Each structure stands twice: as structure tokens, then as C-alpha cells.
A and B are shown apart, each in its own frame.
Chain A
Amino acid sequence: MPGLRPAVSPGPRSLRLRLFAGTLVWVVLTVVVAGWALGRLFAEHVERQFQTELVTHLNQLAAQLAVDAEGRPGLRTALSDPRFARPYSGLYWQIDRVGEEGAAAAEGGAAAAEGGRPGVLRSRSLWDVVLAVPGDRPADGELHAHTTQGPDGAPLRMIEQVLRPAERPELALRVIVAANAALVAEPVARFQRLLAIALALLAAGLALAALFQVRVGLRPLAHLRDGLAAVRDGRSHAIDGRFPSEIQPLVEEFNAVLARNAEIVARARTHAGNLAHAVKTPLTVLANAAAQTADDAPAAELSRLVGEQVALARSQVDYHLARSRAAAAVDVPGLRTPLRPVLEGLLRLMDKVHAGRGLQVSLSACADGLAFRGEAQDLQEMLGNLIDNACKWAAGRVEVRAVDDAGVLQVCIDDDGPGLPAAAREAVFARGVRADENTPGSGLGLAIVRDLAELYGGEVDLRDAPLGGTRALLRLPLAR
């Protein structure tokens, strides 16, 4: 049904791939956003803590700051953090003299220049380096943060505050505390590394879970495919088993279609059979009535005509009946006919019917599992006609063997009769041709067999039999 193929939506063809890709995109997106947000949060936290620490140091420094009578600043006690004492430890403090406001105003620019002296007092860790401070002048008491270069060239984070000692309020001192920026960057980097690993593991775990979920979630589809294959091969008449509620309606719908199909075929067959029955009994009556008047001279011609036409009508009914039935069944999925019971039934029939002739009809090979992918009555029609034909011609033996020939069901029917010249073999498959007009039959048997076989994609022909007579070779689709 090429016209009914639904439009394929863009994107991957595989449902599994589609679901998995969708989940994966979402997982990656979530993990990346979470990683970024967590990293930011931590960096901010570390930053704030660092800032707080610097401020604490600054406050401590301010509290210990004292100015002597000459206006030289000094510390009452050393700061507690030992890093201030170790050279280039990464934690520094420094006190600059900004200048005397009052003096500056009185003496002018020279006093201001003379009064502003950086690094009047420094932590031991700074050794002989004076930290350069940006030239802005914050208001008294205001905290300013800057970035600058440390004594070892490493970037420094510093805060500064301008204070006026209580003893000499005209003296403005800039108190600076600085620390290596690495103290912030390092834990943040470490955290981010750990976070990245943890999140990568999480993403991998989620992806695995998604894969598993998709696999488990789509497993019913695999079952469905198996069920369909079973129907296609004729191992089952419907899709068996319970499916998830999303799929069950589909399965039920499909089973209903199958059942309806089978019903239609069965009904068509019954109708055809009824028609045959209804037509054939009157035909019998008509033919016999004609035969009874065959000896009366004036009616003889009419009698002959009726007899002839009845025979023709009969063969037409037989032929079209068999054909229409087969045509209805060929496309029906789920058909599977085990071979052995059919052959055995037919051989019982032949045994009984030909009992008077002492005919030996034998089944020399037929594996139990062999089955025809098609309808039972059609198989019977084909085999019945071929075996019947063989029995008519046989002198004393008919041998039937069925094999699986590389995936094709092959049935050989051999007789030990007179055989048929090669030239006549094809002709007997033509409609209405009979090898011997005296043997009863409609002359359609072999034509029907060939038609049915070809409808099923099989073939039939006649050749020499090892027994001396004719071998009918029938090849049909095999059901697995």
C-alpha cells in the first residue's frame, strides 16, 4: 500500500534514538546550567569570605594602629596571623601616610606632596616592597577594593581605608590589607574541577538510566514485532499477550482486522461453496435427463448439446471456484497449514477409493514440522488433484515425498504408470485438456493446480519418475 504510507517526520528514524537523543539533550543542558550556577555560587561565597577576612584583618590593623608624638604610625602589638610575618607569604598589610589635610590647606601643594608618603609602615611579609596603590583618594572611613601586583609578581586583592588616629586627627593614614588572589582562585578552581567530575558522572548516570528506560519502555514494541512476525509466518492467528495500555488498543485493532479478514475469506468461501452446490445438483439432473433421451432420434442432437454444455459449465464452476477462493486467501496473513495431516488424509482417501485395484499409495518422506504458508483447502486442492491424477495412471504404486528444499516446500508425487511424452507435459496444464478422454474428470484438475501454485508464488511441472511413470513436482512457499 505505497499510497498509504504516513509522512515521516524529520529527525532520526529510530524511536529509541529519538527518545534517547531527547533525554540526552535535556540532561546535558541541565548539568551544564547546574554546573555554572553552582560554580558561581561557590565562587561568590569564597569571594565574600575572603573579603570578610580581609576586612577583619583591616579592622584588627586599625585597632592596633597608634601614632607617636612625631606623627609616626606604629602598631601597639603585632597582628596575630603568622602569615604577616613570613616574607612573601601572600598576606600583607601596609600603612601609607596620605597627608595632613589642615597643613595641606595652609601650606599648599608642596606640603601635600611632602606629607603623602606610601609605605610608612609595612608587614614583615612585604619585605622591602611597597605596594602601589591606585591614586584615588577615598573618603575617610570608606572601604575600597583593588587589584594590584604583589611582591612576587602574583596578582593581589587588596582593601584600603583612610583613617585618622584619635591622637592626631589631622593626620590621614591609609590602612591597606592585601592577599594573594590565588587564595580565592585556588579553592574555586578546585571546587569547579570536582564539580565538573561529579556532574559528568551524574550526566553519564542519567544517560545510562535513559538508555535503560528507553530499552525497557520500548520492549513491548519488540514483542509486538515478534507477534507480527508470528502472524506473518502463520504461526499464530492473532497477536497474543497483554501489552501496555498505550499499545494494547493498537494490538486489539489489528487483531480485529485480522479476524475480520479471516471472516471475509471464510464467508466468501462458504458462498462459493453454496453456489457450487446450488448449481451442480441441477446440472447433474439436467445431464442425466439429457442422457436418458439420447437414444430417441429427434432428441439425440439436443441431448448431446446439453451433455456437452453441462460438462463445460461444471468445469467452469470448478475452475472459477478454486481460483476465487485462492485469490481471496493468498494475501491473508497468518495462514499456515501443516502438510502431514493433509497428505495422510488424501492418502487414506486414495487407499479406500482405489482399494479394488490393489494400488499401493505411500508417503515415503514428510517431516512433522513441514507446513505450507497458505490456506488448507488450497493445499488439499493442489495435492488432491495431483495425487488423484497419479492414482488414475499408476499401474500399482504411487509414492509421495515432501521435503524442505532450501526454504521451499517441495512435494514429489511419483507413479509407475505409462508416463507422458515430454511434448505432452505442458499441454495437460492447459484448461480443458485431458490426456485420456476415457478417464473420468473435468480435465481441469492440473490447470487448477498450476493456477493455485502460481497464485501462491509456487510452481508445478511434470517430469520422469524413478518408478517409471510420471513425477509431479510441486514447489510452494514454506511456513516457518
Chain B
Amino acid sequence: MRILIVEDEPTLCAQLATTLQAAGYAVDTAANGRDGGYMGEVEAYDAVVLDLGLPLVDGLTVLKRWRALGRAMPVLILTARGDWHEKVAGIDAGADDYLTKPFHMEELLARIRALIRRAAGQASAELVCGPLALDTRSGRVSVGGQPVSLTSHEFRVLAYLIHHAGEVVSRTELTEHIYAQDYDRDSNTIEVFVARLRKKLPAGLIETVRGLGYRLTCPG
């Protein structure tokens, strides 16, 4: 799961990045509306944290442009003013939720998890696929109730697949969603992560669809 943070206050931006990375997300950051807008246009993100008061291009304009271009990823806006009209304007521009500064990081994480889940059409905080269960709140994975230990990359691959359970996910798509922008990407490593996951999970859960990618099939 990959998240973009667009926030001009460097300390807050760093805090957000640290918190989200610790929660298992791949994180990109931008410090102004122009860069952030561009990144949101060309990269694939599972969620965006967007401050409204940004230098160069303001948050609302960035958001409207993304929506006009058909970028549908969930966006959480941060507002400092706390004015309802700003919140309404944000929602009307295409935001999915808002947080008023100052906020608690737990609150932000909960909102982000809910947004990603909602975007994937999942209602519950705990995603279940046969014997496999992934608790988005704690980041814990279990098989038949037994905890499974995963590396952060393995977790991201599994989280993306389970959010899109039943769909075919290409390697490129997986690559886009598990690495941050400045990471040295190599689609071969995806195969390594999938192979490791298959070892840790019950056999047959992750199928290879030849020439297309992978699919997580939930029995029953």
C-alpha cells in the first residue's frame, strides 16, 4: 500500500511519513502543490494525505485537477482553519475525508485505513480470505488464528492482494503500490516476495495467472 503525503511544514511532513511507514505503508512526500500534484498524476497511490494550505498551488486546485484527470484514489485533506466551508469545499472538490489540525496520529491512521478499505470495497477492518486474516488496525497477519511473521515488503504485497482479492494484479501494479518513488524498483523482486509469501501461507492461495500477474483466491 502506497501513500502520498503533500504537506509543506517539514516537521509535520516527516512525522506523518514516519508514522505511516511504521504502519507498513510505502510513503512518498511532496512539500508543495506543484510537485505533489504532479506525483499524484503520474504515480499510483492507494491514498493521499493532502494539506489544503500549500505553496505554489493550493490543495483544492491540486485535488480538483486529479479528479478531472480521473485519478480516483482516496484523499484525506488536512485543514488548519477548521472552517466548515473549507471542509465542504474540500469534499466538493473530491476529498473523501478531512482532519482538522491539530490531530492525533492514531486518528489519521484510522482514517487512512478506513479510506483504503472503503476504496477497495471492504467493510470490515479485518480482511479475511479463507484461513488467512489481515487486521488493518494492528498490521497483524494470521493463518487459522496462528500469527504469521512477514517482512514489510511481504506485508505490502499481501495487503495489496487481499484488498483486491479475487482480482488479477499485474507485477507492474504491485511494484507501483509497494515501493516509494525513490526506491530502486525491480519487478523481479516481486517474484521473490510472492515466493516467500507462498511458503508462509497455505498452498494455492496466491495463484499465478500466466502473462498477467497474480490473484489471491479465497476458498469458500
Contact = CB atoms under 8 A, between A and B. Distances in A.
Interface of A: 273, 276-277, 280-289, 291-292, 310, 314, 318, 321, 345-346, 348-349, 352-353, 355-356, 376-377, 380-381, 383-384, 440
25 contacts: A277-B53, A277-B81, A280-B82, A280-B101, A280-B102, A281-B9, A281-B101, A284-B102, A285-B15, A287-B104, A288-B105, A291-B105, A314-B102, A318-B82, A345-B85, A349-B84, A355-B118, A356-B123, A376-B85, A377-B85, A380-B83, A380-B84, A381-B83, A384-B87, A440-B104
Contacts of B95: 352
Contacts of A380: 83-85, 88
Contacts, number: 88
Contacts of B81: 273, 276-277
B12 A285 contact: yes
Contacts of B9: 281-282, 285
B66 interface: no
Contacts of B98: 349, 353
Interface in B5-42: 9, 11-12, 15, 19
Q: Considering the complex of A and B, which 8 residue pairs feature the smallest CB-CB distances, nearest first?
A: A384-B84, A284-B102, A380-B84, A345-B88, A277-B80, A280-B101, A283-B102, A280-B80
B165 to A, nearest CB: 19
B58 interface: no
B216 interface: no
B96 interface: yes
Contacts of A318: 82
Chain B, interface size: which category?
20 to 34
A348 B88 contact: yes
Contacts of B11: 285, 289
A349 B102 contact: no
Nearest to A441: B100
A206 B105 CA distance: 85
B93 to A, nearest CB: 11
A376 B84 CA distance: 10
A204 B33 CA distance: 79
Interface string B104-146: 1101000000100110000100000000000000000000000
B75 to A, nearest CB: 11
Contact of A356 (B85, B92, B114): B114
A426 to B, nearest CB: 25
Contacts of A277: 53, 80-81
Contact of B83 (A291, A314, A353, A377): A377
Contacts of B154: none
B92 A284 contact: no
Contacts of A281: 9, 12, 80, 101-102
Nearest to A273: B81
B83 A284 contact: no
